[in-house]
Amino acid sequence: MPDNYTFDNAHTFVGRELAVSDWADIDQDQVNRFGEVTRWTPPGHVDPEWAAREGPYGGTLVHGFFMISLITYFLDIAGVRPSGVAYTLNYGLDKVRVLQPVVVGDGVRLRDRISLLDVADRGEARRLFKTGHTIEIDGSDKPAVFAEYLNYVFAAKPA
């Protein structure tokens, strides 16, 4: 992340890649727990034996929404928060595409290539940031997910 990335000058970083996160390891246990929490447990996600025997990919798949839900984690581990910020609030997503299935197998590693797409002033010391997220799979040339994340960012109060 750029050293001088602040709430006040964030607009000067629009169009730039801000960071590439560290890798995050995903295993079958995490995929199963995500399925339980979201109540989406089809065998293609949570039953390795069924997926190996019946599924088209030779193993279970990471839920697309699981990968998308990692965006805030990737922002944090990459340190992509401008200085001079009191807090942020999730405002949702714009364009989101799950570009390819991700097979869990013995585990898979994902990382996020993060760009700043837009910063819009919303008054009252707040701005709407749009970041672009290209979630990559270790060992693949093609990304798994692309998403545009919207985040309200509130300036810290002057001391």
The pLDDT score that the predictor gives to residue 3 is 78
Q: Which pLDDT value is given to residue 15?
A: 97
Q: For residue 17, give its domain range.
A: 11-155
The pLDDT, as a whole number, for residue 63 is 98
Q: Look at residue 55 in the predicted model and tell me its pLDDT.
A: 95
- Domain harbouring 107, CATH code: 3.10.129.10
pLDDT at 106: 79
Is 102 part of a structural domain of the chain?
yes
**pLDDT for position 104:** 95
The CA-based angle 154-17-27, given to 5 degrees, is 90
The rounded distance, in Å, linking the Cα atoms of 142 and 122 is 36
pLDDT mean values, one per 10 residues, the chain (159 residues): 89 97 97 98 97 96 98 96 95 98 92 98 96 97 97 91
Question: How many separate domains does the chain show?
Answer: 1
